[in-house]
């Protein structure tokens, strides 16, 4: 049985309480229930100064110092209201996130909507306010929080931090917001070995598999020093053209491309998916029809962006569960 430390237990309790108080929603309006407020470090120092001045005023019965204490107290009370109202009433709306490939940096996008007065120095980030923005009255902005993922799949956006210390930095008002938003992470595209790679159709509609050996000419490429002379295209040399190397292949089909998980038996699953991902992108970029075949799904033959995205999504979700695991950037 795994032991749970006090720190982890406290964090779990805090997260559970926060989830009940500020549940996940697609649209969140910051109100009194969703906002927390407390003096900042500068505010605590300011309070300590007030207490010290009050003790001095009481001890020496000095009206001038009394007046200074009351002035500072008034400033603090007004600051509390200004800081709180700088966040109160703001609306946050999930704006979704574009799919990314594994290893790329993605972003959680959300809209910050101001329906009333202007808001100044609004900070946001994952654990602290690393980014800042401001909104004029009746304004809305689409903001992004950078994020990376360590594996493929569909990932829910984690809870993020929103705060303000406007206007004097004495009071900190903040909230932890979780929006209903997810990001799809595709496998990292990796070219398969040359002898396994499916290449474009020829003029007759036949699809070729590039290979180190084969009896059909696929293409000519410029000769480079050190390449075997047996692959030299002597006819082009005889006609006075620059030396070229023959790239051979073999026909594997006509007019379509079946991208099958079982094309690579004995290969690690993630590497297989990366190869399939590359082949999907390649076929799509060439306008070639293709069909993805996985043990869990078989796609009909087709082409186009929607067909490509459907295949990539199937690769992304293959043998995975939706997860909240992310690496915040």
Phi, psi (rounded to 5 degrees) for 143: -115, 160
Cis peptide, bond prior to residue 167, ω within 30 of zero: yes
Distance (Å, whole) CA 249 – CA 230: 16
Average pLDDT across the chain, whole number: 82
8 Å CB contact between 136 and 311: no
C-alpha distances in Å from residue 6, one per residue of 11, 12, 16: 8, 10, 15
8 Å CB contact between 260 and 283: no
Planar angle of CA 19, 25, 30, nearest 5 degrees: 80
Q: Give pLDDT, residue 231.
A: 66
Tell me whether residue 82 is exposed, middle or buried, using C-beta atoms within 10 angstroms of its C-beta: 0 to 12, 13 to 18, 19 or more: middle
Q: Give pLDDT, residue 200.
A: 45
Sign of the dihedral through C-alpha 191, 195, 196, 198: positive
Distance (Å, whole) CA 316 – CA 329: 21
Q: Give pLDDT, residue 311.
A: 93
Q: Give pLDDT, residue 251.
A: 46
Each residue of 291-300: b (16+ CB within 10 Å) or e? bbebeeeebe
For the whole model, what pTM was predicted?
0.70
Break the chain into its structural domains and give their ranges.
Answer: 14-185, 194-317
Beta strands in 178-306 (DSSP E): 182-186, 198-201, 206-210, 216-222, 244-254, 257-260, 290-294, 297-298
DSSP assignment letter at 194: G
Residues (pLDDT < 70) of the chain are 1-6, 194-221, 223, 225-242, 245-256, 321-329
């Amino acid at each position: 049985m795994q032991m749970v430390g006090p720190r982890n237990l406290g964090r779990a309790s805090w997260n559970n309480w926060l989830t009940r108080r500020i549940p996940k929603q697609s649209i969140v309006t910051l109100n009194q229930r969703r906002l927390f407020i407390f003096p900042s470090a500068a505010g605590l120092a300011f309070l300590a100064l007030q207490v010290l001045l009050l003790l001095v005023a009481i001890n020496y019965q000095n009206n001038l110092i009394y007046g200074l204490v009351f002035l500072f107290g008034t400033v603090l009370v007004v600051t509390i209201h200004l800081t709180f109202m700088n966040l109160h009433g703001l609306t946050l709306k999930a704006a979704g996130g574009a799919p990314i490939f594994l290893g790329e940096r993605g972003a959680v996008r959300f809209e910050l909507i101001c329906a009333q007065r202007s808001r100044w120095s609004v900070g946001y980030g994952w654990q602290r306010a690393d980014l800042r923005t401001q909104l004029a009255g009746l304004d809305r902005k689409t903001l992004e929080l950078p994020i990376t993922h360590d594996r493929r799949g569909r990932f829910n956006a984690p809870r993020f931090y929103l705060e303000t210390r406007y206007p004097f930095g004495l009071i900190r008002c903040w909230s932890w917001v979780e929006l209903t938003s997810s990001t799809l992470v595709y496998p990292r595209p990796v070219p398969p070995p040359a002898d396994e790679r499916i290449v474009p159709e020829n003029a007759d509609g036949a699809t070729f598999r590039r290979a180190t050996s084969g009896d059909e000419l696929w293409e000519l490429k410029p000769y480079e020093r050190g390449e075997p002379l047996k692959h030299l295209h002597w006819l082009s040399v005889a006609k006075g053209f620059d030396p070229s190397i023959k790239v051979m292949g073999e026909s594997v089909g006509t007019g379509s491309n079946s991208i099958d998980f079982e094309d690579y038996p004995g290969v690690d699953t993630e590497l297989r998916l990366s190869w399939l991902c590359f082949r999907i992108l390649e076929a799509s970029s060439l306008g070639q029809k293709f069909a993805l075949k996985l043990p869990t799904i078989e796609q009909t033959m087709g082409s186009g962006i929607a067909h490509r995205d459907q295949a990539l999504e199937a690769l992304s979700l293959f043998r995975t569960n939706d997860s909240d695991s992310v690496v915040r950037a």
